[in-house]
A and B are shown apart, each in its own frame.
Chain A
Amino acid sequence: MTDQFEPTIVGFTCNWCSYRAADLAGTSRMKYAPNVRLIRMMCSGRLDPTFVLRALSGGADGVLITGCHPGDCHYMEQNYKALRRYLLLRRVLKGMGIEPERVKLVWASAAEGARFASETTLFVEEIRKLGPLNWGKTSGPFSVVGDQTTENATLITEKEVPA
């Protein structure tokens, strides 16, 4: 055991390409980082940004979204919708002080088990460098409930009131 930070990552895969890629990586006995908890959806277009926010606010350090390559979507063009949501979601997260790199979109076809494995490992390393997000942890915003801050009290009592 080492005490290096092990990120918790939630991964969303699409039924037709990227989940098959993950399956292929498994049946081919490819080794990749075990930090990702995969959730299968029918399509990356099913990815409601709510899922990502739930994951991040519930303790995940990063979210991996995977889907079919552009042009290969089994539902015509839903992966393009996933791409647009992803790009807007990253902007919104940035406004909340969350590194946009904590959410990553990867295209992987059913034949790309090796790509799925290497991208996953790469993402885990990227998140490891960013460190824990702590949103859902004891130090997170939910712990602030009932916590009267002393910061502003300190800040404003340090100032001298002139005579």
Chain B
Amino acid sequence: MTVNGNKPKFAMYWAASCGGCEIAVLNTHEKILDVDANFDVVFWPVAMDAKYKDVEAMQDGSILLTLFNGGMRNDENEHIAKLLRQKSKILVAFGSCACEGCIPGLANLSPVGEIVHTAYNTITTDNPHQIYPRTTFDVPEGELHIPTLSRMLRPLDEVVDVDYYMPGCPPESHQIAAVIDLVIKVVRGEAELPPKGTVIGVGNSTVCDECPRARNIKLIKAFKRIQDIAPVDPTLCILEQGVPCNGPATRSGCNARCPQVGAQCIGCYGPAEGVMDYGARLITAFASVVDANTPEEIDRILDGIPDPTGQVYRFNLAGSLMKAARSAWEKG
């Protein structure tokens, strides 16, 4: 870290996320040195020691670039999102969680009490004294607080204004490197920023467009899970082999990384350009390849998708039109 105050300032934060986005940034290898050479890293909890009060003391708009990963799951997440919005010129929703909720967004299928119960009181948790965390707790030194969970997880742009979106779980390192290069060029006056609201570090088509596998007319008689087909044909479209592959609805940008190595696309790059609801697009795609015309036969084939809601909204539930299951938001 540098003390050179003339360099533009950089921050990165994690809210409700796993830390994979930070690893993806470090995976840019020597490019990370460019970040240090061109930016003054002022706040990045996973990589350096910094306090919230340090950020609070900064001037508004004094951070040039903030990469914000993670969704909004509690009041601390929201507080820091608002704080960093205030202090940053460019706020990027970085990674699937900040853009559309990602895997933590699937918790929107359950009421918050059930989530806490599952975490502290199920067969995988040894909690004989039924100890649950409290949001406030009195100790001799004073009152302690931990963040309060929100009823639902929300993407970043439902809490603050977002300048750019960079999807992916995590964003691919070569895409991060390209974005870092662009911002450095902008700082030097050699390039211009894209229009506000642009999805950056991505392609403009679908994963299928980048996938090298052979595609023919798809007529699916049975959906299967990938572990149940052996061997997976290395050259044929995975959906054609009967495995629900989320490629048709998913934005390109990853070079079809999963299908290239024999796994189905699970949709981490989010909705393709022009798709309003990711799950709806996938429903259309899967339904179109079902090779049956009677309700009974269609239902038999659809039984091969054991969790339809999770399948079509794996990364996108919190950012979808419906946002959550009824039990997550309905009171009482």
Residues of A bordering B, CB below 8 Å: 48-50, 52-54, 56-57, 70, 77, 80-81, 83-85, 87-89, 91-92, 94-98, 134-135, 139-142, 144-153, 155-157, 159-162
Please give, as numbers and ranges, the residues of chain B lying within 8 Å of A160 by CB-CB distance: 130
In the complex the two chains form, is B129's CB within 8 Å of A53's CB?
no
In the complex the two chains form, is B109's CB within 8 Å of A95's CB?
yes
Chain-A contact segment, one of B84-92, B209-217, B308-316? B308-316
Please give, as numbers and ranges, the residues of chain A lying within 8 Å of B129 by CB-CB distance: 162
Taking the nearest CB of chain A, how far is it from the CB of B277, in angstroms?
5
Taking the nearest CB of chain B, how far is it from the CB of A61, in angstroms?
13
In the complex the two chains form, is B152's CB within 8 Å of A141's CB?
yes
In the complex the two chains form, is A147's CB within 8 Å of B151's CB?
yes
Which label, helix, strand, loop or mixed, suits the secondary structure of the A interface?
helix
| Cross-interface CB contact of A83 among B117, B150, B298, cutoff 8 Å | B298
In the complex the two chains form, is B329's CB within 8 Å of A144's CB?
yes
Taking the nearest CB of chain A, how far is it from the CB of B185, in angstroms?
37
| Cross-interface CB contact of A50 among B152, B288, B321, cutoff 8 Å | B321
Please give, as numbers and ranges, the residues of chain B lying within 8 Å of A52 by CB-CB distance: 280
Beyond known contacts A52-B280, A54-B321, A141-B329: 12 more, CB 8 A cutoff:
A53-B280, A53-B320, A81-B288, A83-B293, A83-B298, A85-B287, A141-B323, A145-B159, A152-B112, A152-B149, A157-B135, A159-B132
Indicate whether B134 reaches chain A with its CB closer than 8 angstroms.
Answer: yes
Chain A to chain B contacts (Cβ below 8 Å), 10 pairs: A49-B279, A80-B293, A95-B109, A95-B308, A141-B328, A152-B113, A155-B132, A156-B132, A157-B134, A157-B136
| Cross-interface CB contact of B131 among A77, A152, A162, cutoff 8 Å | A162
In the complex the two chains form, is A50's CB within 8 Å of B277's CB?
yes
* Bound Cα distance from A159 to B326, whole angstroms: 27
Indicate whether B154 reaches chain A with its CB closer than 8 angstroms.
Answer: yes
Indicate whether B286 reaches chain A with its CB closer than 8 angstroms.
Answer: yes
Give the A-B pair count, Cβ closer than 8 A: 149
Taking the nearest CB of chain B, how far is it from the CB of A45, in angstroms?
10
In the complex the two chains form, is A87's CB within 8 Å of B299's CB?
yes
Taking the nearest CB of chain A, how far is it from the CB of B154, in angstroms?
7
- Which residue of chain A has the shortest Cβ distance to B135 in the bound complex? A153
In the complex the two chains form, is A141's CB within 8 Å of B322's CB?
yes
Indicate whether B257 reaches chain A with its CB closer than 8 angstroms.
Answer: no
Taking the nearest CB of chain B, how far is it from the CB of A102, in angstroms?
11
| Cross-interface CB contact of B151 among A80, A81, A96, A149, cutoff 8 Å | A149
Taking the nearest CB of chain B, how far is it from the CB of A139, in angstroms?
7
Given contacts A97-B325, A139-B331, contact A148 B277 (CB under 8 A): no
Please give, as numbers and ranges, the residues of chain B lying within 8 Å of A87 by CB-CB distance: 287, 295, 298-299, 302
Indicate whether B11 reaches chain A with its CB closer than 8 angstroms.
Answer: no
In the complex the two chains form, is A95's CB within 8 Å of B310's CB?
yes
In the complex the two chains form, is A148's CB within 8 Å of B287's CB?
no
* Bound Cα distance from A75 to B47, whole angstroms: 59
In the complex the two chains form, is A50's CB within 8 Å of B298's CB?
no
In the complex the two chains form, is A156's CB within 8 Å of B116's CB?
yes
* Bound Cα distance from A98 to B330, whole angstroms: 12
Indicate whether B281 reaches chain A with its CB closer than 8 angstroms.
Answer: yes
In the complex the two chains form, is B284's CB within 8 Å of A49's CB?
yes
Chain B positions 274-295 with a Cβ under 8 Å from a chain A Cβ: 276-277, 279-281, 283-284, 286-288, 290, 292-293, 295
Taking the nearest CB of chain B, how far is it from the CB of A143, in angstroms?
8
Indicate whether B307 reaches chain A with its CB closer than 8 angstroms.
Answer: yes
Chain B positions 90-148 with a Cβ under 8 Å from a chain A Cβ: 109, 111-113, 116-117, 129-137, 148
* Bound Cα distance from A70 to B292, whole angstroms: 12
Please give, as numbers and ranges, the residues of chain B lying within 8 Å of A155 by CB-CB distance: 113, 116-117, 132
- Which residue of chain A has the shortest Cβ distance to B108 in the bound complex? A141
In the complex the two chains form, is A48's CB within 8 Å of B321's CB?
no
In the complex the two chains form, is A96's CB within 8 Å of B302's CB?
no
